[in-house]
Structure 1
C-alpha cells in the first residue's frame, strides 16, 4: 500500500501540491508545519534542508519544489491522466512557470528593476516578455498543453490565479478565461476548501 504524505502550511505554495493530490484521487496524509518553528525543526530539516514547504513523501522517496512535485505525481500516477503524451510541450510550460514566470512576477512584486542591458542575465528578459508569451499561448489553446488539462495547468494555473488575485499580473482576458476554466474543477474546489478551513484554525 503506497503512502503519500504532504508537508505543508495552508498559507503557502503547498496549496498547489494539495490541488495536485486532489486531482489524483489517491489517499494522502497531511502534516501541517508552522513558519519559524516546526518548519525549521531538525525533524523537518531532515526531510527538506531548505526548511520550507511543500514537501512530499512517497513511501521512502522525498520530493520538494512544487513543479517537481506536480511532475512526479503526474508521472507516478498515469491513471489520473495529468501527464500528457506531448511531453515536450508539458516540460516547456511546466518549467516556464517554475523559471521565467515565477522569477519575473516575484521580482516585479519586490520592485526589482532589471536594467535593459542586464536582461540577458535574469533568464526571463522582462516581465512584459513573459506576460506577452503566456498570453499569446493561451489565446490559442484552452489549456497549457493542447486541449486537455494536465499537471502543468495545476502548477502554472495556480500561479496565474494568484497573480491576478493579488494584482501581480494583469487581468488579461486570456488569463481570466483560463482561470475560470481550471479553478472550477472539483479537485480545485476541494483543495481550496481544505486549506481555507485549515487556515481558519491557525
Structure 2
C-alpha cells in the first residue's frame, strides 16, 4: 500500500492526517504552503479546486475529505472507525462525517475574514458576527447529540468524532466552546488522543497566529 497525503497544517487535511494516524498504516506527508502553491498546475491535477487534502493511494488520487474518510474506513475496517453499510449506526455516522463540512465552511469564511484579508477595510463585521453565530448553532447540535455520551455514536469513538473534532478544532478559533459543557468535555477527550496530537502543526507551521479571533470590531467594553 502506497499512501501519500498532501497536507497544509491547520486546514481540512488535518482531518485525513488524524484519521491515518488512528488507522496506523504507513503513509507519507507532502507539506504545502497554504496559498499560491495549491494553484500550481501539478497540484491542480491532483485536486482540481486547488484545495487540500489530496490523497494518493495505490497510484490513484482522491480529494474531498468526506469521500476520503468513507473510503479509508471501508478499506481498513479492522480499525473500527467506520460504520459499514448495513450496520445500525451507519446513517448517523454518515450524518456526522459530513456535518463536519458544514462547520468547516463557516470556519473557512472566518479564516478568510480574519487571516487572509490584511486590511480592515476588506473585512465585514456583519459576516464575522453571522458566521460566528452559525458556528454556535453547530455547537448546539453537537451538544444535543452527545447527551451524556463520551462520543457522538453510542458504539464508541469513530471517524465521525475525527471529522467533527477537527472541524471544531478550527472553529474554536472564532467561537468559544467553553459555554457548551458536553461539547467542551468531548473535545477534550478528542484532543487527548495521541493521533490527534500527531496531527497538530509543527513549530512555525501554524496558519493561525493566535488561539482566538473575536468578531471585529470588538463590542464596546469587550
TM-score w.r.t. length of structure 1: 0.79
SS at match of 1:199: coil
Question: How many residues are paired up?
Answer: 186
Out of 150, 153, 163, the position equivalent to 2:161 is 153
Contact 1:89 1:145 in 2 (8 A): yes
SS at match of 1:130: helix
Is the aligned partner of 1:144 residue 2:152?
Answer: yes
Residues 1:129 and 1:190: Cα distance change in structure 2 (over 3 Å): closer
Deviations 1:125-180 (A, max 9, x none): x655433222111123221121411111111011223323x132442111110011
Contact 2:177 2:184 in 1 (8 A): no
Structure 1 residue ranges without an equivalent (≥5):
116-125
Contact 1:105 1:168 in 2 (8 A): no
Task: Within 5 Å, give how 1:183-194 maps onto structure 2.
Answer: 183-192=191-200
| Cα drift, residue 38 of structure 1 | 3.0
Contact 1:160 1:169 in 2 (8 A): no
Q: Distance in 2 between matches of 1:127 and 1:34?
A: 26
Task: Within 5 Å, give how 1:52-71 maps onto structure 2.
Answer: 52-71=51-70
Is the aligned partner of 1:168 residue 2:168?
Answer: no
Contact 1:90 1:145 in 2 (8 A): yes
Deviations 1:34-66 (A, max 9, x none): 234432211111111111211111113322122
Out of 195, 205, 222, the position equivalent to 1:199 is 205
Task: Within 5 Å, give how 1:39-188 maps onto structure 2.
Answer: 39-84=38-83, 85=87, 86-99=89-102, 101-106=103-108, 111-112=126-127, 129-164=137-172, 166-171=173-178, 172-188=180-196
Q: Distance in 2 between matches of 1:182 and 1:156?
A: 10
Contact 1:10 1:198 in 2 (8 A): no
Contact 2:6 2:54 in 1 (8 A): yes
Which structure's residues are more often helix, by fraction? 1
Q: Distance in 1 between matches of 2:7 and 2:136?
A: 32
SS at match of 2:55: strand
Residues 1:19 and 1:128: Cα distance change in structure 2 (over 3 Å): closer
Instruction: Look up the match of 1:119.
Output: none
Deviations 1:94-144 (A, max 9, x none): 122223x334555677543899xxxxxxxxxx6554332221111232211
Q: Distance in 1 between matches of 2:76 and 2:31?
A: 24
RMSD of aligned alpha carbons: 2.7
